[in-house]
Structures are given as C-alpha cells and as structure tokens.
C-alpha cells in the first residue's frame, strides 16, 4: 500500500520512510495545514488529519511532535515548531543555562484519517536530557541538544535513532494497526 504523509518536514519524512520500509510506500504531500492551539498534541494531530483527508479526498497521515522540557514546565511543547524557527537550539540552551534538572521528553502523535470518517491517533514518547551544548550534526530540529542514555542524538545514525525514538513508537503503532485492519 501507499501512505500519503502530509508534512513539510524532511527529517520526519526520512525517518518515516525508513520505519515503513518493506511495509508501505510513503508519498509526501508537502503542504502546511492549520494547527489547533492546544496543549495536547493528539488533538492537533486528529484535527490536522481530518482536515487533510477531507481536503485531499484520500486517506492520509500527519504527525505532530514536540519537545517538552521539565524545567521549563513543558515548554516549548506544542510551540516547538515556532520556537525552533525563532530562538532555535541556542535559545533553548540559553533558557537552560544554570539549570541542573535537564529531563525532557519528545512526543510524536501520528494522526490517521479517511475522508468523512473519524481520525485515529498513535502516540510515542522518548525520554532524555537536554545537553549543555549543541553536539553532532545528524538528525534535525532539536536533535543536537538532546541525549538519550548519555548518547547525543546528533551523533546517532538514522537507524540508531529509529530504534528508540518517539517517532518509532508512534509510527510503528500506526503501522501495526493499519496492517491488522486491512488484512
Ligand atoms: P509539519 O509540516 O509535519 O507540521 P513541522 O516541522 O512544522 O512539520 P511540528 O509542527 O510537528 O512539525 O513541530 C515539531 C517541531 O519539533 C519541529 O520544529 C521539529 O523540527 C521538532 N522535532 C520533531 N521531532 C523531532 C525529532 O525527532 N528530533 C528533533 N526535533 C524534532
Ligand atoms: Na507544523
């Protein structure tokens, strides 16, 4: 089968293609869609999936993700994309200067929808720590400031990240659900 993934983010697309390899062909729909203002990424993904399915007249997935930093009460969370484009990783490191508690989690929610039907969502969470400086050049977005079990994500290969990430969990949950549904 072919899965239409509505996203403007090349990093997400690359990881999804690798996770779906041998299961689905992934066709990118490079289009921005309206994002609800909500704390809850599931609501954003569900709304986006329904909007895109109805607009395009075909079944689609979208993925909403974000970085939630404990010491910043979950910031940037649902504002991750905006924060990445404005203050970026250097801005986050500045906010974290002198902060000892570095725990943070990445969340990823895949939203799936068929035209005229209710959306379904699949969530993945990945705990780690905010580094003290940007490290590595792999990955995208916040990867250079995130570490998992003391391993900088900016130094992971795509395959290593795809073994353990939030996106792995959400995409694989979707993949298994979709395959069992269409069997
Ligand atoms: P869409 O078109 O799919 O919405 P986007 O980049 O706007 O692409 P989001 O709205 O979901 O994506 O915002 C998530 C932000 O968090 C964005 O800046 C990403 O780069 C970043 N992010 C998400 N997953 C990440 C990951 O695995 N590693 C590093 N940064 C990540
Ligand atoms: Na977005």
DSSP 66-113: EEEEGGGTT-BGGGHHHHHHHTHHHHHHHHTTT----EEEEEEEEEEE
Residues 6+ apart with CB under 8 A from 62: 5, 6, 7, 33, 45, 48, 49, 52, 110, 111
In this structure, what DSSP letter does residue 63 have?
E
Which residues fall in the annotated binding site for Mg(2+)? 35, 64
Judge contact between 84 and 106, C-beta under 8 A.
no
Domain 2-181 is found in CATH 3.90.950.10: yes
CB of 78 sitting under 6 A from ligand 1: no
pLDDT at position 183 is 72
Q: Is 28 exposed, middle or buried (0-12, 13-18, 19+ CB in 10 A)?
A: middle
For the question of residue 64 being annotated catalytic, the response is yes
pLDDT at position 19 is 98
pLDDT one digit per residue (tens) for the chain, 183 residues: 999 999 999 999 999 999 999 999 999 999 999 999 999 999 999 999 999 999 999 999 999 999 999 999 999 999 999 999 999 999 999 999 999 999 999 999 999 999 999 999 999 999 999 999 999 999 999 999 999 999 999 999 999 999 999 999 999 999 999 999 987
CB of 89 sitting under 6 A from ligand 1: no
Query: Residue ranges per domain, the chain?
Result: 2-181
């Amino acid at each position: 089968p072919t899965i239409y993934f509505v996203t403007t983010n090349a990093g997400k697309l690359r990881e999804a293609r690798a996770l779906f390899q041998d299961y689905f062909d992934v066709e990118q729909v490079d289009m921005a869609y309206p994002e609800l203002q909500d704390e809850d990424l599931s609501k954003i993904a569900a709304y986006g999936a329904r909007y895109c399915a109805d607009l395009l007249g075909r079944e689609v997935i979208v993925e909403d993700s974000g970085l939630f930093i404990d010491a910043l009460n979950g910031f940037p969370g649902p504002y991750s994309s905006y924060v990445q484009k404005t203050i970026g990783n250097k801005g986050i490191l500045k906010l974290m200067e002198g902060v000892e508690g570095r725990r943070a989690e990445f969340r990823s929610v895949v939203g799936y929808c068929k035209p005229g039907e209710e959306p379904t969502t699949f969530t993945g969470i990945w705990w780690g720590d905010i580094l003290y400086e940007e490290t590595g050049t792999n990955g995208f977005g916040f990867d250079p400031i995130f570490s998992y079990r003391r391993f900088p994500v900016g130094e992971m290969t795509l395959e290593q990240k795809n073994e353990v990430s939030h996106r792995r969990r959400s995409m694989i949950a979707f993949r298994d659900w979709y395959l069992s549904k269409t069997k």
